[in-house]
Structure 1
């Protein structure tokens, strides 16, 4: 059964789509887009029920993100990235959830997790400084998850490195307004954030390994199947879902434009077997990407729900397929883009924006295939993975 949030996205879809170009020009989501997105409830899909969230099956979250991205790339991307953050908060100290959602259950949380800062241990927590790029939707978020390396007491990372996820309120970081000038996903407003000597209490910090291995959830007595899923399956889920939704939008746009197009030869495109072949093939590939992405996270969910352990091989297979889903969908988009006619390169044609957005999404670190495919092949052969290769698996 289709989740109510997915149905709501489709109800609001035409209004959301009408604002996509404005978001592109603004370099961030417009206030109206944010209001519509909040109304749909996509960002609360994985949020705990006690804080007004849906605590939904991750399959439903992925479908909601795909639906939203099929109307506006930027809105879908922001929810695909930031929509996972409530899932992580659910596994942390209960005090944190009260701080974030106690007064407003529609409060959004940004990121990035890359360890670009240094967290120096101090009494009661850490002193954090650093600069982080790619904080998607930062203008509309009141908190930010940031990655940091534990310091050595002299401003440098300690050895061996320990990576933390820390979360700060809006008052503790600065958003750099002129830091987002890009060729794709412009409307996401994924700006840099800067922190200087901000105090982070211990309960707002967690060892990345604890999140990766589910130890934080266990420590705080969080036993729901949703919050037992691996971070390395959940974090990429929304991002890949957004890319697939963008490609679905591009396919629909291509089909609509080709219906009445006449080629330079005077032949109507609906009579051109080459364009039609490419369109049919792309449709199948994008659909396959959707199905495989949902299948992977659903199998992990069912496995955990049945009390069966999730192995490194299980995680690696899901990550391998998730990466492939993104590349398969964007490759299919490339095939129809090349057969959409010369007018596709006009800035007034939305298909060129969708093509740029999809490729920008493919550049995210979770879509880099090399180490993921490499690691999966090693796990299939029964070999141990080096620590640096296990991080994203």
Structure 2
């Protein structure tokens, strides 16, 4: 059964599509696009019901992100990134959830998680400094999740390496305008943020390994299956869903534009078996990506629901397939884009924006295939993964 949020996205879809070009020119989502996403409730899908969310199945979250991305890739990307943060926030000290959502359940949280800062331990918490690129949707967020290395008291990482996820209010970081000048996903507004000696109370932090293993929920008394899933499976879900949705949007637009197109040879494209063959094959590949992505997270959900442990191999299999979903879908998009005719490259044709957005989406670290495939082969052989490979498995 289709979730009500997905249905609302489909109702609002034409307006989302109409705003996509404006978002690209702005270099961030327009206020109206954000209003539509809030109206649909996409960002609240993984938010606890106690704080105005849905505590939805991750499958519903992925489908909602895909639905948004079919109309506007940038809006879909922000939905996938920002939308996973309520899931993690729920696993921190409940005091933080009250701070963020008591006044407004539609308060958004940005990120990036890369450990670009040093968090020096002090009484009651940490003092954080650093600079982080790629904070998607930051202009519309009131808080930010940042990755940081625990310091040694001298501005250097302490040994052994310990990574924290820390949460800061907007007053504690600066968004640097002019730092998001890109060829695709321009509307995501993924700007740099800078923190200069901000105090972070300990309750606004969590160790990465705790949330990565899916054990954080128990510590704060969460019993919902959703919050027991591993970070390394949930964090990539929304991002890859956005890429798959972008490819779905491009396919739909390609088919619409080819219906009445006449090639330079005078032949109607709908009578060209080669173009139609490519379109049919691309449709199958993109559909396979959707199914495999949703199947992976659903299998993990069912395991947790049944009280079965999730092994490193289980997580690695899902990560392998999630990476492959993105690359398969974008490869299929390439096959139809090159058969879309010269008008596909015009700035006024949304197809070229879908194509650029999809390729930029592949640049995210969670879509790098080498380490994910390597780690999966080791896991399937029953061998121990080297520590660096375990970071996003």
Normalising by structure 1, report the TM-score: 0.99
Residue 107 of structure 1: aligned partner: 107
- State the secondary structure of the residue aligned to 2:80: helix
Residue 234 of structure 1: aligned partner: 234
Equivalents in 1 of 2:94, 2:54: separation in Å?
Answer: 18
Residues 42-99 of structure 1, C-alpha deviations (whole Å, 9 max, x = no match): 0000000000000000000000000011111111100100101000011110100000
Residues 108-148 of structure 1, C-alpha deviations (whole Å, 9 max, x = no match): 00000000000001111000000000000000000000000
- TM-fit CA distance, 1:216: 2.1
- In 1, are the aligned partners of 2:247 and 2:330 still within 8 Å (CA)? yes
- TM-fit CA distance, 1:346: 1.1
1:77 to 2:77 alignment: yes
- State the secondary structure of the residue aligned to 2:308: coil
Matches within 5 A, 1:126-165: 126-165=126-165
The list of structure 1 runs, each at least 4 consecutive aligned residues, that deviate by more than 2 angstroms after superposition, is: none
- TM-fit CA distance, 1:283: 0.3
1:182 to 2:201 alignment: no
- TM-fit CA distance, 1:268: 0.7
Residue 345 of structure 2: aligned partner: 345
- In 1, are the aligned partners of 2:144 and 2:169 still within 8 Å (CA)? yes
Residue 17 of structure 1: aligned partner: 17
Residue 45 of structure 2: aligned partner: 45
- State the secondary structure of the residue aligned to 1:59: helix
- State the secondary structure of the residue aligned to 1:178: coil
Residue 36 of structure 2: aligned partner: 36
Matches within 5 A, 1:184-333: 184-333=184-333
After superposition, the CA RMSD in angstroms is 0.6
Equivalents in 2 of 1:214, 1:380: separation in Å?
Answer: 21
Aligned length: 393
Normalising by structure 2, report the TM-score: 0.99
Equivalents in 2 of 1:355, 1:201: separation in Å?
Answer: 43
Equivalents in 2 of 1:215, 1:269: separation in Å?
Answer: 54
- State the secondary structure of the residue aligned to 1:131: strand
- In 1, are the aligned partners of 2:109 and 2:143 still within 8 Å (CA)? yes
Residues 23-50 of structure 1, C-alpha deviations (whole Å, 9 max, x = no match): 0000000000000110000000000000
Equivalents in 1 of 2:156, 2:225: separation in Å?
Answer: 38
- State the secondary structure of the residue aligned to 2:178: helix
Equivalents in 1 of 2:163, 2:61: separation in Å?
Answer: 27
- State the secondary structure of the residue aligned to 1:18: helix
- In 1, are the aligned partners of 2:320 and 2:373 still within 8 Å (CA)? yes
Residue 355 of structure 2: aligned partner: 355
- TM-fit CA distance, 1:349: 1.1
- In 1, are the aligned partners of 2:215 and 2:228 still within 8 Å (CA)? no
